């Protein structure tokens, strides 16, 4: 039960910080519709996809309810250090301070330099029984005009 509460608190939580433009410092590789396969999550009904974070392969959860990218920098063995800290309002009403760093996220062939909040995702990895290393939120997803979850083809479709 505590694990489930920890999982929900992370995914239903929102950070207490200013909104940064996710399209700053972007490099587009094309304006066509891009499809990437969704990975199955046997233990969790969630949309998981493979992306790159700082040129490293990363399995991430796509969460439209999260406003920021959340990463587990220790798991990814990232060399970058937090530039600042920010309050992260959890579901239980407590504010947790987390490090915020600039990271290059490559999703659907598009490179974005975004703020990423660093926190331990060990409890979420246990719940999904997978090597989850991050969560992509609206500061990445809003770069696209729309996204589509195609459960028939098991693809996440990004539309320019």
pLDDT mean by block of 10 residues, the chain; 160 residues: 40 37 40 86 83 92 90 90 76 74 86 90 88 92 89 90
Identify the architecture of domain 2-159 in CATH: Beta Barrel (2.40)
Specify the pLDDT at position 89: 60
Q: What is the pLDDT of residue 92?
A: 63
The model's pTM: 0.74
Separation of first and last alpha carbons in the chain:
40
Query: Distance between CA 136 and CA 130 in Å, rounded?
Result: 16
Write the DSSP assignment of 25-73 as a string of letters.
Answer: T-B-S-SS-EEEEEEP-TTS---EEEEEETTEEEEEEE-TT-SSEEE-H
Structure tokens at 126: 């246990």
The per-residue pLDDT for 51 is 92
Q: Are 33 and 145 a contacting pair, CB within 8 Å?
A: no
pLDDT score at 85? 80
């Amino acid at each position: 039960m505590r694990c489930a509460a920890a999982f929900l608190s992370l995914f239903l939580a929102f950070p207490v910080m200013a909104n940064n433009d996710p399209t700053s410092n972007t490099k587009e590789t094309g304006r066509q519709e891009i499809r990437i396969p969704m990975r199955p999550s046997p233990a969790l009904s969630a949309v998981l996809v493979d992306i790159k974070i700082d040129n490293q392969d990363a399995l991430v959860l796509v969460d439209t309810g999260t406003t920021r990218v959340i990463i587990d920098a220790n798991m990814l063995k990232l060399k970058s250090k937090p530039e600042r800290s920010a309050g992260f309002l959890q579901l239980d009403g407590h504010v947790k301070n987390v490090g915020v760093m600039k990271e290059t996220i490559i999703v659907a062939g598009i490179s974005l330099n975004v703020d990423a909040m660093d926190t331990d995702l060990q409890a979420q990895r246990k719940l999904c029984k997978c090597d989850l290393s991050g969560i992509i939120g609206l500061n990445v997803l809003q770069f696209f005009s729309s996204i589509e979850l195609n459960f028939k083809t098991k693809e996440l479709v990004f539309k320019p």
